[in-house]
Structure 1
Amino acid sequence: MTPLLCLLVIAEITMILVLLFRTPLRRLVMFVLDRLKEGQGPIMSTVGVTLFVVLMSSLYSIARIQKRSMETGGINPTDHVLLTNHILDSSLMGTFSILFTNL
């Protein structure tokens, strides 16, 4: 999951850089984005809702790990790795779910 989300971040940064400078590629990207968004509203909101559901699942897993660490009095290394992975996934998914629902 994390490599896919990192790939999305890199694609978004690339898109921002292409749109920032006036190049022939910018005109092509603007044309493609215009065609993609034309009549495709429900698809983008479906992607956003799917990301939001996966985000809620990840947040639930974070809460479970934290609850388990409070019961035992400490966090073991496996839970620590899982917790950091879920936090990274949640932050990236939260950003992209907001992005897709605002399109």
Structure 2
Amino acid sequence: IRDADGSLQHLDFLDEKAKDVYRTFAEINQSVVIEQAAVRQKFIDQSQSLNIMVAPDTPVKEINQLYIQAWKQGVKSLYYQHSMNAAQQLNRKKIQERNEKEEK
């Protein structure tokens, strides 16, 4: 779990429902995060601190679409845009390769 940055998706003993419930911030669809923030925004007088997580290789057009979606849905601000650093990417790639070898 530590080597997978907190992810449980690789654990075979968990069923799909548990894996869906216990996703990390990076594994959650960010469009859904924005939709949920838009619903909450209606009940907040000022603003909320909303962070989004995008993969480092996400095209700029897709990132822009997230920001436009937030604006159109009435989200007043997006606080930070997070991404994985190079070491995290390399580590995830190694884990994925190891898991693929174990499956064979």
Fold match by TM threshold 0.5? no
TM-score between the two structures when normalised by the length of structure 1: 0.33
Greater RCO (CA < 8 Å, at least 6 residues apart): 1
Give the structure with higher Rg (CA): 1
More helix by share: 1
More strand by share: 2
TM-score between the two structures when normalised by the length of structure 2: 0.33
